[in-house]
Amino acid sequence: MTGIWQDTADGLVPLRTQPFLREKDLHDSIERAPAMLPLRGQPRLVVLGREVPLGTGYADLVAMDADTGQPVIIEVKLAANSDRRSVFTQVLGYASHLFRMPLEAFEELVRPYLARRASASIGEAVVAEIADGSVDLEVFRDSMTAALEEGQIRCVVVLDTASPDLIDLAGYLQAVTNERLDIDLVTVSAYRVGDGQVLVPQLVEPERISARPLVQPPSSGRDAKPIAGSALFTGSIDSADPAHREQLRRLCSWARQLESAGLATLYTTVGKGRWVLNLRLPGQDRGMVTIWNDRGAFLSPQRSVVEAEAPQTLVRLDERFPNEVRRNNYLTNPVNQEILELFRDAYAEAVLRSSRSTE
């Protein structure tokens, strides 16, 4: 548990949390400084609107991830609220309203807020807010359009306290949703220190299950289970279309090289007519890429994992292959040696960061 401890004549004593009197107070704090939210991937958020009409309700805050163009819905609920479980229904409803919404319609929703910023578009508001030259207006606009079309939405639920049932519910939703929908649970505690107030935000991470493609094994109706190693995937290549066998062998050989170098651990998931090679990070149950033998040879990146584990290499990937490393997509460009080397660098960066954190 996170807390504030004060050094007194009687020793270190924990300060008591101070209740928020109004949800508005917490809304105000997040709107002024969205960077206070300790989200996975450390996104650079730009708030676009408050009490934004989405479907049958009003989202507390709507923001944009300046690096990915992903809309972010932020909903705040205090313990005094009689039914905080409904907050998850709210954010999912808001996300469904944004799914496949044209960019022009989205901008109309936040037009009053853009006007107060003297910005003609969401892209201009984001570029002006970041103001370091790192956001390309055209690239951002294309990313935002794709995120709306594909339903790449991030939902952030902010509470003053999180009960076990809410944590379990958040964990379940995180487990069953795919990479296109991110759900984060954050608690914010308030403390009185002298004449000022100190806010302590904390990301609540229930036991997560990495989202996997829903595949069925050929001989059973039960969910497929990952099997350690690459033997099953290698054996499947001879049954693939001859036009794709060379690429599959090349990708499989690359994956085994990563495993030999201690950069990845290989697992194979077998489905009905498809085989998936998972390149997990050592000691984790998630990876940055998967290789698919599914009526073709495909490499599928997991951007959220790359953001969290190899942010420096992700910058290089985005510069060299714009809009290719997204969430739950296949690479559309030819999978050449250059991009494989960059993904190898990403795994190396992740392993190095992990080793430093344990020193």
What are the pLDDT digits (tens) for 228-270?
Answer: 999 999 999 988 888 899 999 999 999 999 999 999 999 998 8
Does residue 207 have a pLDDT over 70?
A: no
CA–centroid distance for 84 within its chain: 23
5-9, 108-112, 140-144, 261-265: segment of lowest average pLDDT: 5-9
Does residue 15 have a pLDDT over 60?
A: yes
Tokens of 336: 């050449």
Asked if 349 contacts 264 with a C-beta cutoff of 8 angstroms, the reply is: no
E strands within the chain?
5-8, 11-14, 45-54, 57-65, 71-77, 153-159, 181-193, 196-204, 227-228, 265-271, 274-280, 287-293, 297-301
Mean predicted lDDT score pLDDT of the chain: 87
Share of the chain above pLDDT 90, in %: 57
What confidence score (pLDDT) does residue 359 get?
59
Does residue 27 have a pLDDT over 90?
A: yes
Share of the chain above pLDDT 70, in %: 92
What confidence score (pLDDT) does residue 281 get?
93
Q: Tell me the pLDDT tens digit for each residue of 55-89.
A: 999 999 999 999 999 999 999 999 877 677 889 99
In the chain, the largest separation of any two C-alpha atoms, in whole Å, equals 78
How does DSSP assign 152-203, residue by residue? Answer: -EEEEEEESS--HHHHHHHHHHHHHS-TTEEEEEEEEEEEEETTEEEEEEEE
What confidence score (pLDDT) does residue 176 get?
83
Does residue 343 have a pLDDT over 90?
A: yes
Rounded-to-integer distance, Cα 156 and Cα 187, Å: 10
Q: Sorting pLDDT into bands at 50, 70 and 90, what band is 208?
A: very low
Amino acid at 195: D
Q: Sorting pLDDT into bands at 50, 70 and 90, what band is 334?
A: confident
* pLDDT mean over 290-319: 90
What confidence score (pLDDT) does residue 295 get?
80
What confidence score (pLDDT) does residue 35 get?
94
